[in-house]
Amino acid sequence: MICTKRMRQLAQIYITTDRIEEAESVLRKILHIMELAKGWNSLETVIAAERLALTLQSLGNLKEVQELLKRCLDARKALLPENHIQIAANLLHLARVKMLNPSKLNKSNMAELDMAKDLLSKSISVARGNLVLSVRQKGNKQSYGESVTTVRSRQSALIILLQSLDALSLLEMKRLELEEDSKDPHNSEAESALRGCISAYKEFVNEKSLSDAPGVKAEYLLCLKHLVDLLSDNRTTSKDRSSNAALQELKDEIKRVEVELSKKGGRRS
């Protein structure tokens, strides 16, 4: 649809110029058009709704964001295979929104965090499954036989896996803040998630299409930085858990990745 394509371009201009309310108005019109033209049995409608949801998130309208993302997830589950990478991304978006909702995150109600953790666990499982299958299939083909779409899908799967593990570490830190009598004062769960992020990167980085992707490296860099911050915090650092040498090794790795990203013009802090 030429009309909606131009409207999407206009919405993107509004977003890049920080005119979010105007972008919201255009995106609502696009979704209304798609609902009338194709209904929710179309991925085009789902994507239009997701664009609106992510824009509303920046405006703080978290209740409607959750409703839209949940509807997107239900539609995707009906339209796509259960292990499709779009479902993993949708799960990640929904988990992040649940973690952002301040009215829900309090000492008397940890259920919201538990639901977010369940969503992240599913996202991690789907993304990892996609990666393992994609790398295995590539091993049975010549590299020149791969389509650009296949390569991008593999990169997206690893990015979503790293982002989900990083989000899981943030969730565990939020949980520690809310628990008065924590049984895990050093937050080993958050550390484990970040180390899992780093391990996942190293597990798949030998695949050239992944090691050369700036977006993948940028997410790996964030995991490294968050782990250094966690281990450097006085509340989480102890001599028997993280030696100065190990911490310095992580810092050296951060510098190495930052240099690589700066050369590719993909630096991210």
State the residue for tokens 């499709």: 84
How many independent structural domains does the chain possess?
1
Q: How far is CA 7 from CA 29, 30, 31, in A?
A: 9, 7, 11
| Per-chain mean pLDDT for the chain | 88
Whether 86 is covered by a domain: the verdict is no
Here the CATH number for the domain that contains residue 48 is 1.25.40.10
Tell me the pLDDT tens digit for each residue of 14-52. 999 999 999 999 999 999 999 999 999 999 999 999 999
CA distance 5 to 101: 32
Tell me the pLDDT tens digit for each residue of 148-196. 778 899 999 999 999 999 999 999 998 888 876 666 666 899 999 999 9
The number of beta carbons lying within 10 Å of the beta carbon of residue 243 is: 11
Whether 155 is covered by a domain: the verdict is no
Q: Quick one: average pLDDT of 138-144?
A: 63
Whether 1 is covered by a domain: the verdict is yes
Supply the pLDDT for residue 234: 52
pLDDT bracket for residue 229 (50, 70, 90) = very high
Whether 227 is covered by a domain: the verdict is no
Domain that holds residue 68: 1-79
How is residue 131 written in tokens? Answer: 């990666």
Whether 44 is covered by a domain: the verdict is yes
Q: Quick one: average pLDDT of 195-211?
A: 91
At 114, the amino acid letter reads D
Whether 35 is covered by a domain: the verdict is yes
Supply the pLDDT for residue 205: 87
Whether 54 is covered by a domain: the verdict is yes
3-state helix, strand, coil in the chain (%, to 5): 80, 0, 20
Q: Count Cβ atoms within 10 A of the Cβ of residue 108 and give its class: 0-12 exposed, 13-18 middle, 19 or more buried.
A: exposed
Whether 14 is covered by a domain: the verdict is yes
